[in-house]
Structure 1
Amino acid sequence: MDSYHPSESGSRQEASEKLLSDSSSQNDFSDHVELKRARRSQWCSRWIIALPGFFAFLAIYSLALVSIVKDSACLAQSHSAGQLIYTPIRDAIVKEKKTIDVSVLHGNPLKGPPSPELDEAWSRLLMNANVRVSAEDLEKAGVESIPLNDGSGKYYAILDVYHQLHCLKYIRHYMYKDIYDDVQPWTPTHVDHCIDSIRQNLMCNADTAMMGFRWVNDSLEPKPNFRGQHECVNWESIEEWASERSFNPDDQANLRHPSAT
């Protein structure tokens, strides 16, 4: 009779179980590796498909960003240069640093009591106020006006600075209304219009140059120093541009009401 050896039987069973376990582990490991390879392949495929779209999005985003930065820079430059509206004289304007003296006792050809010389100086100042402009200039500026009758195809316009100067001249005449004969019953209303027009224009084109003060003799109140540096438009550059386009509005060959025969 064969004897029973539990240790040998157990050893064979353990060996068999170990082989089965090792075989199962190898199969599981192989399956895991294959699964990882499959997943990696799927991710690679997805990235290959997604990359063109990603680069397209990146290109569009970059172009949009460049456009925004460029527009912002142009807008900032436009704002800093004061070019929020179109005017045909813009490219002809020259800026300069100028010393202005408006001291009470300081004289100039446009200041003082009425005289033939002073009146002539004011007439010369306004002689080029009325100018011809093109239909394109009006369209760019968003301004409507009337055509001239001189066959030029141009339209009637005036630079606003000349309107402000006209208003100053009118106020000056009103100050000396016992001398000038252009004072009419409606003149106070006209003068009020001119004062408000100049006021609005001064606030619109605010001169931010600083004015200092000084002590004068024994006065207990400091006096303003009316002489100082300012950033100015060179007036000759405006005169040159306007003189090349000026016309006489009193000549009906240039300007005539449509109802006139």
Structure 2
Amino acid sequence: MASKEPLPETPERSSTSTLGDYELDTQYLMSNEKARKRNSSQQKRNWVFLAVNSFILLLNIGALLMMGVTKTVTVTHRENEFPDLPHQEWIDGVIDWELQVYDDQFTNHGQFRGVPRPELDDAWSEILQNFTLRIPKPGWRNASTPTSILTEWGDEEGGIMGTFSFLHNIHCLRTIRQYMLPDAYPKIAEKYKPGPNSPIPTHIDFLDHCIDILRQSELCHADMALMTFEWREGEHDPVNIHHTPHVCANPNKITKFLEQHTVFPFGLLRNPFNGEVPTWETNPV
């Protein structure tokens, strides 16, 4: 059988083939253009979606940060929500709180404890060397009453004579300690000897006053440091542990403030009612 030979290409056939190819190319280009537009549109939608979600994420992060800041401020405010003292502005910035552990060892330990000796007396005196302070007028209380007048310093700077409560309490503790050791501190023992009707020292009830002031101070400040108990080998009863952190004022900053305002009370005071100088100038203990 004879094989079929391809038909010769005529102008009409060639034109039809070219037109078909053109249509195919056009369809292909149009398809590509549509695909490109679809891809471009999809990319735009993706970017918009990403931008919107990023914006929402930033809003959430901002909200969380604001919540955190608000919470921190609230807690800080609540923790420091103490009533202001009348002289608060004068002492602002003096107290820096920090954690400290007490020296809780027994026996003769530390410069403030043990048998009477010069270095022990010097240590106690050093704490109290800034006892009397120059307070700005008017001293944050009424200037006077019919039977009392605020004590003013008699130098050019003037101001009111005063001290801080914690210094008064330390003075009380030192006096009680010295009273317990009459052989070492005979002047204190003589000054605060018991009266005929009471075992409590009757010199203006000073020691009794000191003990009660210390009681009130402890209840006032309510140190909430936690002391646990433990069993110890050889001990019959549980033993409480004093070695625990306490919230304390930084002593160095307080001392610096005291040194800036200390006035030594000698030669600057005179009683306005009788014209006399204080007894500590004529009869020091």
Range class of TM-score, shorter chain: 0.5 to 0.7
CA distance in 2, matches of 1:124, 1:153: 25
Q: Provide the residue aligned with 1:223 in structure 2.
A: 239
Please give the secondary structure, in 2, of the residue aligned with 1:227.
coil
Q: Matched residue pairs, number? A: 184
How much has 1:148 moved relative to structure 2? 0.9
Counterparts of 1:242 and 1:233, CA distance in 2: 14
- 1:101/1:228 contact within 8 Å kept: no
Question: Is the counterpart of residue 248 in structure 1 residue 250 in structure 2?
Answer: no
Q: 2:172 and 2:249 mapped to 1: Cα distance?
A: 20
| Cα shift readout 1:78-107 (whole Å, capped 9, x = no counterpart) | 883424323332421111111213232472
Q: Distance in 2 between matches of 1:229 and 1:142?
A: 40
Letter of the structure 1 residue corresponding to residue 101 of structure 2: T
Report sequence identity in percent: 28
Q: Does 1:208 pair with 2:224?
A: yes
The worse-fitting range, judged by mean Cα deviation, of 176-185 and 110-119 is 176-185
What pairs up with 1:1-261 in 2 under 5 angstroms?
77=77, 80-87=80-87, 88-105=90-107, 107-136=109-138, 138-139=139-140, 145-180=150-185, 181-187=187-193, 188=201, 189-249=205-265, 251-252=266-267, 254-258=268-272, 259-260=274-275
Kept in 2: contact 1:133–1:245 (CA 8 A): yes
TM-score of the superposed pair, with normalisation by structure 1: 0.64
Per-residue CA distance 1:122-179 (angstroms, 9 max, x = gap)? 110100010001015x22x678632110121311010011000000000001100122
Q: Match of 1:149, as an amino acid?
A: G
1:186 deviates by 4.0
Deviation string for 1:193-248 (max 9, x for gaps)?
11111111111111011001111113231111121111001111111111111111
Structure 1: tracts of 5 or more residues without a match? 1-72
Residues 155 and 231 of structure 1: is their aligned pair in 2 closer, same or farther, counting only changes over 3 Å?
Answer: same
- C-alpha RMSD over aligned residues: 2.5
8 Å Cα contact 2:153-2:159 kept in structure 1: yes
2-structure distance, mates of 1:238, 1:174: 28
Counterpart-to-counterpart distance in 2, 1:143 and 1:177: 40
CA distance in 2, matches of 1:196, 1:182: 19
Q: Which runs of 5+ in 2 are unaligned?
A: 1-72, 145-149, 194-200, 277-285
